[in-house]
Amino acid sequence: MPTAATATASFAFEIWEEEPIVDDGHLRLHRTRFRKRWEGEIAGRSEGEMLMVHVAGQPAAYCGFELVTATLAGRTGTFVFHHNAGAGLDGGLSLAVVPGSGTGQLAGLAGSARIEIAGEVGDTAAPHRLILDYGLG
């Protein structure tokens, strides 16, 4: 990865729409579309889609993609996050910039991130914070 840096940003969901695929009382599988507003060292908007599964009412796993249109380190462009989480989200979250997805002044962006959630997992109204370890080529 090119020169390493860290950026911190908060985000809030503007849209969170769930479309059920299966919901039998034990297993809940749904497609979720979302849009976020970003503030901090990443400033802008994003939108994406995830497949999520809950077992016995608890988050179990999800995967998805998110297109971010933002300014990072004074550079403007877009990039895509790949989300992947399992094991009830307890230490099983992987969030990475899709290699080669950066455009504009963010071309060459590489990195991985972690999310800190205030409140309960799945509470889209709770504040969320992202810490991105990245490099810009």
* pTM assigned to the model: 0.88
89 or 14, greater pLDDT = 14
Domain boundaries, the chain: 4-136
Question: Mapped to the 3 state alphabet, what secondary structure does 66-88 carry?
Answer: EEEEEEECCEEEEEEEEEEECHH
Burial of 77 (0-12, 13-18, 19+ CB in 10 A): buried
Positive or negative torsion for Cα 63, 65, 68, 73: positive
Check residue 57 and give its pLDDT.
84
Q: What angle do CA 12, 41, 79 make, to 5 degrees?
A: 75
Positive or negative torsion for Cα 126, 127, 133, 137: positive
**pLDDT tens per residue across span 86-98:** 865 565 678 999 9
**pLDDT tens per residue across span 96-131:** 999 999 999 999 999 999 988 765 555 566 678 899
Tell me the average pLDDT of the chain. 89
Closest CA to 15 of 41, 42, 39, 35: 35
Fold of 4-136: AOC barrel-like (2.40.350)
Check residue 26 and give its pLDDT.
94
Check residue 1 and give its pLDDT.
46
